[in-house]
Structure 1
Amino acid sequence: MRDDNPTQSGGSSPLLGVSRSLSGKRWRLREADEGEIVTIARQQGVPDALARVMAARGITAQGAAGYLTPRLRDSFPDPADFADMDKAARLVWEAIETERPMAIFADYDVDGATSAAQLIRYFRHFDQDADIYVPDRVEEGYGPSGEAFETLKARGAELVITVDCGAAAHAALEHAATIDLDVIVIDHHLMDAEMPPAAALVNPNRADDKSGCGHLAAAGVTFVFLAALNREGRRRGAITPDNEPNLLDWIDLAALGTICDVVPLTGINRAITAQGLKAMTGWRNLGLRSLAEKSGVEGEATTYHAGFLIGPRINAGGRVGKSDLGATLLTTEDEAVARRISDQLDRLNAERRAIEAEVLDAASAQLEAQASDRAILIAAGEGWHPGVIGVVAGRLKERFDKPVIVIGIDREATPPVGKGSGRSVPGVNLGGAIAAAREAGLLLSGGGHAMAGGLSVDPDRITELVADLDMRLAPELAAAADAMALKADGVLSASGFTLELARMLEQAGPYGQGNAEPRFVLPRMRVSFAKRVGTDHVRFTLSDSDSRRVDGICFRCADTPIGEALLAAGPDLFHALGRLKLDSWQGRERVQLHLEDLATAAE
C-alpha cells in the first residue's frame, strides 16, 4: 500500500510512500540533522551515506572521530562510581591475600559464562583457583538458591561471587547469611529498591548507583570490576608493573557476552565490542578458537560470528546440555578438552535447533489465534523445553512486532509451575512489567531488563497474567508505534550500491542493539532472477531501469509474501529494503543485499 504523496523526508511521513509493505510494515527514514551530515562528511572524508548513518544515530561532528574509532579510554567509567564496586574489590583481595576459598556462581547463558571466565582467568593470574557453580536450567532454574549455597559451602567456599544473577535473589542471599557464607553480587538486571543482604552488590541498575552504566551486560560490569581489582591490588602493593594483569587479554570475553546479551552497542559497550572483536580475531582463547573452527568462522571476528555462530553453541550447553560447559570451555588451556567440549556443544546446538523448531511451530499457532489488539502475546505449552523458550520468544517478537512471552508448563513439578521467557520491542519495558506483576502477587518469581525478562508462574494464573501485562504494556506499545516502523538510513540507486560503501559501513561498526546496522532502500527494482536455496531462503538478482544489477539473499522468507514475490520474478516494480553486506567467495569479495522487506512500487 502506498500513500498519495511519496516522500524521502523524516518526520511522520512514510518513506517512498510505503505505509504497508509486503511484511505489513511502515517504512520511515531515520531523522538526521542535515547540517551535521554535511560537516561529518567533509571533516571525516566519508560518503554522504555513511555521514547520514552517523548523524541519524545522534553522532555529532565533534563525536564522529570517536564513533569511527571507538576507544576504551574515551568511554571507560570510573569503577568507583559503581555502588559497592570498591568494597567488592577489597573483599576479593582480602580473600586472595589470605587464600580464603572462593567460588563463582554463574548464570548458564553466554553473559554468565563469559563473566565467570573473566574472573577465573584473573584469579589464575595470581595462582588462585575458584570453584564454579552453574545451575541446571531445568532442575534449578535461574539464579542462586539456598541449596546451591549449601553445596558451595560444603565444598569449602567461604566467599561466593555471583555473576549475571543474584540481584533479586532475596531468599537465597538471606539463607547464605544464616550459614555464614559471604556473597558478592555482580549483576546488571533490574532489581527492587529493597536490597537483598550481600557482602557487596555491584549492579549499575540498583537504585542508588551513580555510574550511569545501566546498559552494560554482566560481562561488561565484570570487566569494569577487573579494573577495580587491579586498582585495589596496586593500592595494596600486591600488583606491581611486573605482575599486573593486562585486562585486554580478556576483553574478547567481555565483548562476546556484550554482543550475545543484546545490550545497546553504544558508549562503553561499543568500545568493549570493537576492541574485543579485534582481540577475538587473534583466537588466543583456546575455547573460542575451537568453536570458531567448528562453526566455520573465517577472517576477522564480527558481531555476526559472535552472536549467531559462537554464542548459540555456548548457549546450547546451558539450554539443552550440561550447564557449565560454556564456562569450562572458555577457561581451559588444554586443546584436547577444548576440542571435546566444542564437539559436544556443536551436537547440542543441533539438538537445540530441532527442539526449538517444534516449540516455535506450536507457539506460532497459538499466537495466530490471539486477539490482534493485544499489547503482549503469550504462548504456553506443557513439556516445552525451558532451554529454547527464550529463543522462540525472540523469533516470534520479530514476527509479530510485539512483546512475546513463551511459557513451558511442568505439571510434574510440586506444585505445577510455568517457566517463561520473554522478549520485547524498542520502547516497551517488559522487565519492568514483569517485576510489577511479581510485586502484585501474580508471579512466583520474575524480573529482567527492558528488552527481556523471565518468570515463574502458577499455570492456573496465566490468564490473569495476560490481562495484567496487557493492561500495563498497552500504553507503552502505543507510544512505541514509531519505533516499530522499519527505519532506513537512506535511498540508494543501484549504481550507489558499491563494494566501497559496504566496506566503509562495515569498518564503521560494530552494530547491534541500540546502534542498528544501516539499512538502505533501492527504489523501483524488478526481480530478474530468484531461486529457493537451502530450506527456506531465496537468492535473487534485482535490476533497475538501466539494467544495473544487485545480487542478494533473503533469509527464511521462501514461504512468506516477500519470498513469493521474489520467486514470481515477474514484471512488477518493487522498493527493496535491506543491508549492504560483504561476501567473500574463493578469494573474491563482492557486495550483496541482505533483503529485509519489499514494497510494491507504482509503474
Structure 2
Amino acid sequence: MADGSGPIGFLGVTRSLSGRRWRERAADADVVRRHQLSLGLSEPLARALAARGVGDGQGETYLNPTLKALFPDPSSFADMDRAAAVLVDALERKRPMVVFADYDVDGASSAAQLVRWCRAMGYDLPIYVPDRITEGYGPSPAAFRRLKAEGAELVVTVDCGAAAHDALACAAEIGLDVVVIDHHLMRGEEIPKVAALVNPNRHDCGSGQGHLAAAGVTFVLLAALNREARRRGLFNESLAEPDLRQWLDLAAMGAICDVTQLVGFNRAIAAQGLKVMSQWRNPGLKALMDLAKGSGPASTFHVGFLLGPRINAGGRIGRSDLGARLLSGDEPEEVLALAAELDALNASRKEVEREVIEAAVTLIERGMNVDDEACILVAADDWHPGVIGIAAGRLRERYRKPVIVVGVDRAANVGKGSGRSQPGVNLGRAVQAAFDEGLLLAGGGHAMAAGLSVRPDTIPELRAFLNARLAAESEAAAADDCLDVDALVTTSGCTRALWQDFQRLAPFGPGNPEPLFAAANVRVERPMALRGGHVRCTLADSSGGKLKAVAWRVEDTEAGRRLLAEGGAIHVVGRLKADDWQGREGVEFEIEDISDPRRT
C-alpha cells in the first residue's frame, strides 16, 4: 500500500490489550533489494526505509540529510524577500524593533534565532512574550498599543500573528509596522495588511514547506537576511557575515518540540541541528541539560523529553518569556538562574499535571461509558490552563480517542479547553463547526489539536454536538487504529548492533516513525511496579535470550495488569532503546503494546 501499511492481523493480533490491531509495514520488494545493493543495508533496515516511502535513489539523502542538498530558495516563500528588506532597513536606520513570540519552545527558539542574528549585527533586539493566562495566545490590540507607546516602530511576530486580524488591524491604525513569521494554518485567502507576512501555509506561498515549524521558517529568514545584507555591502572587515549553522540547534528545537513532519528540509534541520546541539555551545541548553542530568550526544529524546518541557514550563505555569530569554542569553550567571527557575517550574508543572490527569480519569470512568464516546470531553473547576493540553494528550494515549480537557473559571464564567486527537479525526474542524454553531466563545486549531473557550453551562451541549459531529470519523479511526511493525525479532536478536543499525534512520518523529519491533510468545519474568505507574520486567523466549523491558504509565491498565500477572506467553510490540547505565552499552525494550494470544 502507498502509506506503507500491510495486511491487518500481524501475529494474528486483531485486538490487542489496548484495543489496537497490528500489521507489518509493507514495502516494495524491488525497492528493498535496490536499497540493499546500492546502500549496503541489511534487509530489515532496507525494508524499513522502503516502507517509509523512500524510493530508489533517495536513500542516501534520507540517511544523510544535508542543508546543501535540501535548503529551499528563500525567495520561494511569499513575502520572504520583502521581510528581509524591511528588517535590514530597520537595522540600517536603527529603528526601534521588538520580537513578539509565542510562549512555547517553537516561539522561544524562533525569537532566540532573531535575537542572536541581530546581536551579531550589532543590534540588541528586545523580546515580548504574552502571558498565557492574562493575555492568551498571540498578538492583541492591547499588546500592540503598549509596545507602540513604549517606542516600538516595528514588531516581528514569530510563531504567531498570521490569524491575529484584530491585532494587525490595530497595528495599521496606530502606525506600527509588523512583520509576521508564522506557520499556522490560515483561514481564507485574505492576507492582512502588514509590512510582510511569511508563512508557508498561506494560500499563495509556493515554497512547498508547509510542514516547517516557525523555527524552521525563521532559519530560512536568517538566510534571506544574510543575503540582503550581503547585497547591500554591509559585511566587511569590522562586521563579519553571521554563520547561520551555529543556530541550527535552535531551529531543531522548534522542529522537534512542535512535532512537525521530519521530512525533506525539516529532516535536515533536525539531523544537522542535533549535531550542532551536541557541542552544547548554547549556554541555556547546556545549563538545562546539566540540570536534567542528561548525557551523550543530543537526540530527539533529549529535546522532546528533557529540554523542551523545561523550556515550556515558563509559559505554562511561570513567566512566559523565560524560555526565550534562556535560549538567547549569553551571560553565565543569568543563564544559570533562568535554567534553575525553569527546572523548578517544570517540577511543579509535573505535579499539577498529575493531579489534573488523576482527577480527569476519575471523572471519565465514573461518569461516562468511554466506548460510547466519539470524543471525550471532561471538565472541572480550576484546572490550570497551562497543563490541560498535556493532560489531553495523556488521556488520548490512554483511551485512544480524541480528548478535550476544560478548566473552568467560575469567577470569570468561562471554561478554557485544549484538545488532542486521534489520527483520522479532524478535531480542529469540529471545534470550528462548534464555534460556527454559537456553542463557543472562541475556538480553532488543526486536525490533531484544538483550543476553545466556552461558557460552563454550554459544556453538556458542546459535548453532545462534538460526539454527533465526530461519530463517523471516530468509528473509522478506531477501525484503523493499528500499530505498524517493522520487524519480528527474538529476545536474543535484540542486540546493540540491531539498535545501531536502525539508528541510521534517525531522527525520528512524524513522517519518520521510530521503528517498532514485535516479539512473539515471550514470558514475563520478575515484573516490578515502579513509581509513576511504570512496570519493569524481563522478557524471555524459547531462543533462550533474555531482554530487559519497561512499559510506561501502564500499571492501572489491562496491559499493566497482564505484565504484573506474569503467567503465560504474550506477544509484545515496542522500541529498542540504548541502555548505557554504568557503561554497559546494551539495549532495553520499551513496550508499546501487548497481546495475549489466548484472547487475540
Taking structure 1 as the reference length, the TM-score comes to 0.94
The question of whether the paired residues in 1 share the 8 Å contact of 2:492 and 2:543 is answered with: no
Work out whether 1:218 is the aligned partner of 2:214: yes
Unaligned runs of 5+ in 2: none
Q: CA deviation at 1:251?
A: 0.8
Decide whether the 8 Å contact of 2:180 with 2:197 is kept in 1.
Answer: yes
- The secondary structure found in structure 2 opposite 1:460 is helix
Residues 321-347 of structure 1 deviation map (CA, whole Å, 9 limit, x = unaligned): 011000111111111111111111111
**Structure 1: distance between partners of 2:69 and 2:447:** 26
Structure 2 distance, partners of 1:66, 1:441, is 49
Task: Tell me how far apart the structure 2 counterparts of residues 115 and 596 of structure 1 sit (CA, whole Å).
Answer: 33
Question: Secondary structure at the residue paired with 2:19?
Answer: coil
In 1, Cα distance between equivalents of 2:186 and 2:255: 20
1:517 aligned counterpart, secondary structure: coil
In structure 1, how many angstroms separate the alpha carbons of the residues matched to 2:447 and 2:75?
Answer: 25
Q: Please point out which of 216, 224, 230 is paired with 1:228.
A: 224
Distance (whole Å) between structure 2 residues aligned to residue 213 and residue 84 of structure 1: 14
Cα–Cα, structure 1 residues 81 and 467, in superposed 2: closer, same or farther, change >3 Å? Answer: farther
Tell me how far 1:473 sits from its aligned partner. 3.4
| Matching residue of 1:153 | 148
Deviations 1:54-79 (A, max 9, x none): 11111123111111111122222222
Asked if structure 1 preserves the Cα contact closer than 8 Å seen for 2:492 and 2:547, the reply is no
Contact 1:170 1:197 in 2 (8 A): no
Do the aligned partners of 2:385 and 2:416 also contact (CA within 8 Å) in 1?
Answer: yes
2:406 counterpart SS class: strand
- Which stretch has the larger CA shift, 97-106 or 544-553? 544-553
Residue identity opposite 2:142 in structure 1: E
Pick one of 505, 517, 521 that aligns with 1:520: 517
> Is the Cα contact below 8 Å between 1:190 and 1:432 reproduced in 2?
no
Give the Cα–Cα distance (whole angstroms) in 2 for the partners of residues 77 and 560 of structure 1: 46
Inter-partner Cα distance in structure 2 for 1:405 and 1:308: 23
Structure 2 vs 1, CA of residues 79 and 442 (structure 1 numbering), >3 Å: closer, same or farther?
farther
Counterpart Cα distance in 2 of 1:495 and 1:45: 24
Q: Map Cα deviations across residues 357-404 of structure 1 (whole Å, 9 max, x no partner).
A: 111122223333335243322222221111001100111111122222
Task: Determine the C-alpha separation between the residues in 2 that align with 1:269 and 1:566.
Answer: 39
Q: Does 1:265 align with 2:253?
A: no
From 64, 72, 79, the equivalent of 2:67 is: 72
Aligned to 2:289: 292
Contact 2:139 2:160 in 1 (8 A): yes
- Relative distance call for 1:10 and 1:154 in structure 2 (3 A) is closer
- Cα distance in 2 for partners of 1:95, 1:10 equals 51
Counterpart amino acid of residue 458 in structure 2: R
Listed one character per residue, the Cα deviations across residues 519-543 of structure 1 (whole Å, up to 9, x for unaligned) are 0100111113222233322221111
Deviations 1:218-257 (A, max 9, x none): 1111111111111221222224696211111111001011
- The secondary structure found in structure 1 opposite 2:536 is strand
Tell me if 1:383 matches 2:374.
Answer: no
Q: Distance in 2 between matches of 1:417 and 1:311?
A: 29
1:530 counterpart SS class: strand
Show the counterpart of 1:91.
86
Deviation, structure 1 residue 477: 3.3
RMSD in angstroms over aligned alpha carbons?
A: 1.9
Which residue of 2 is the match for residue 338 of structure 1? 335
Rounded Cα–Cα distance in structure 2 between residues aligned with 1:399 and 1:602:
23
Q: Deviations over 1:92-111 (max 9, x none)?
A: 11111110110011111111
Indicate the residue corresponding to 1:503 in structure 2: 500
Please tell me whether residue 593 in structure 1 is matched to residue 577 in structure 2: no
Asked if structure 1 preserves the Cα contact closer than 8 Å seen for 2:23 and 2:483, the reply is yes
CA positional deviation for 1:147: 0.9
Does the CA contact (< 8 Å) of 2:99 and 2:127 recur in 1?
Answer: yes
- SS of residue in 1 equivalent to 2:295: coil
User: Using a 3 Å threshold, how does the CA distance of structure 1 residues 266 and 531 change in structure 2: closer, same or farther?
Assistant: same
Deviation digits for residues 415-451 of structure 1 (CA, Å, limit 9, x no counterpart): x222221212223332333334434443333333332
- Counterpart of 1:54 (choices 49, 53, 74) is 49
Contact 1:230 1:239 in 2 (8 A): no
Change (3 A) 1:543 1:433: same
CA distance in 2, matches of 1:211, 1:437: 33
Match of 1:189 in 2: 184
SS state of the match for residue 401, structure 2? coil
In structure 2, the residue matched to 1:576 is: 572
In the superposition, relative to structure 1, how do residues 184 and 168 fare at CA in structure 2: closer, same or farther (>3 Å)?
same
Aligned letter for 1:411?
R
1:481: Cα distance to partner?
Answer: 4.1
* Deviation larger for 349-358 or 525-534: 525-534
Bigger CA drift: 363-372 or 248-257? 363-372
By how many angstroms is 1:134 displaced? Answer: 0.6
Counterpart code for 1:495: S
C-alpha contact 2:211 2:260 (8 A) present in aligned 1 = yes
Cross-structure match for 1:142: 137
CA–CA separation in structure 2 for the residues paired with 1:538 and 1:463: 37
Give 1:517 deviation, angstroms.
Answer: 0.5
Please give the alpha-carbon distance, in whole angstroms, between the structure 1 residues aligned to 2:5 and 2:153: 58
Which of 113, 116, 120 aligns to 2:111? It is 116
* Residue in 2 that maps onto 1:556: 553
CA distance in 2, matches of 1:91, 1:340: 35
Give CA deviations for 1:577-597 in whole Å, capped at 9, x if unaligned.
Answer: 100111102222001101111
Contact 1:108 1:137 in 2 (8 A): yes
Residue 71 to residue 482, structure 1, CA distance change in 2 (3 Å): farther
CA contact (8 A) 1:190 1:447 kept: no
CA distance in 2, matches of 1:190, 1:247: 27
Partner of 1:6: none
Matched, 1:446 2:443: yes
SS at the partner of 2:132? coil
Give the direction of change, closer, same or farther, for the CA distance of 1:192–1:93 in structure 2 (3 Å limit): same
Return the offset for 1:139.
0.8
Q: 1:213 and 1:460, CA in 2 relative to 1: closer, same or farther beyond 3 A? A: farther
Alpha-carbon separation, structure 2, partners of 1:166 and 1:513:
25
Give CA-to-partner distance per residue, 1:193-214, whole Å, 9 cap, x none: 1333322111111122222211
Cα separation, 1, equivalents of 2:19 and 2:530: 24
For the pair 1:173 / 2:172, whether they are aligned, the reply is no
1:16 Cα shift? Answer: 0.8
Judge conservation of contact 1:527–1:566 (CA < 8 Å) in 2.
Answer: yes
Q: In the aligned structure 2, how far is the partner of 1:457 from the partner of 1:198?
A: 31
Instruction: Give deviations 1:35-93, integer Å, cap 9, x for gaps.
Output: 22222122222222211211111112311111111112222222212111111111111
In the alignment, residue 383 of structure 2 is paired with which amino acid? W
Mapped partners of 1:481, 1:38: distance in 2:
34
Q: How far apart are residue 548 of structure 1 and its match?
A: 1.6
Verify the 8 A CA contact 1:538 1:555 in the aligned structure 2.
yes
Q: 1:590 to 1:133 in 2, by over 3 A?
A: same
Name the aligned partner's letter for residue 368 of structure 2.
Q
Aligned to 2:205: 209
- Which has the larger displacement, 478-487 or 310-319? 478-487
Q: Aligned pair in 2 of structure 1 residues 85, 466: CA closer, same or farther (>3 Å)?
A: farther
Q: C-alpha offsets along residues 131-181 of structure 1, whole Å, 9 cap, x if unaligned? A: 211111111111111111111112211000111111111111111111111
Residue 245, structure 1, aligned to residue 242, structure 2: yes
CA separation in 2, counterparts of 1:178 and 1:69?
Answer: 49
The aligned residue for residue 255 of structure 1 is 252
| Equivalent position of 2:325 in the other structure | 328
| Identity in percent | 55
Q: Secondary structure at the match of 1:51?
A: helix
SS at structure 2 position matched to 1:29: strand
Q: Distance in 2 between matches of 1:473 and 1:119?
A: 41
How many residues are treated as equivalent by the alignment?
592
Task: Please report how far the alpha carbon of residue 186 of structure 1 lies from its aligned counterpart in structure 2 after TM superposition.
Answer: 1.0
